[in-house]
């Protein structure tokens, strides 16, 4: 992120993320729950699959919803 936007904007963006998390924790009276690296990897994977499925549908390719094992 630093390479794209610069050091100062990166610091402000990270600070903003921390404040949003803290606000939601206080508002909902919850503890911070670290979801872990696997959570983000799985989320990215699911989003990519969904993106490519939609692109294939736009091109007219029919895709089965579930793959048979």
- Tens digits of per-residue pLDDT, 27-47? 999 998 888 889 989 999 999
pTM: 0.52
- Using the Cα atoms of residue 36, residue 37, residue 39 and residue 40 in order, give the sign of their dihedral: positive
Same domain, 20 and 6: yes
Same domain, 40 and 68: yes
Which residues form the domain of 18?
1-33
Look at residues 55, 53, 47, 57 and name the one whose alpha carbon lies nearest to residue 67: 53
Burial of residue 10 (number of CB atoms within 10 Å: 0-12, 13-18, 19+):
middle
Same domain, 39 and 68: yes
Structural domains counted in the chain: 2
Share of the chain above pLDDT 90, in %: 68
CA dist., res. 5 & res. 31, Å (int): 31
Same domain, 28 and 57: no
């Amino acid at each position: 992120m630093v390479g794209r936007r610069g050091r100062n904007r990166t610091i402000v963006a990270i600070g903003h993320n921390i404040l949003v998390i803290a606000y939601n924790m206080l508002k909902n009276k919850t503890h911070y729950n670290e979801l872990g690296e696997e959570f983000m990897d799985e989320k990215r994977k699911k989003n990519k699959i969904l993106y490519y499925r939609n692109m294939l549908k736009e091109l007219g390719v029919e895709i089965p919803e579930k793959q048979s094992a």
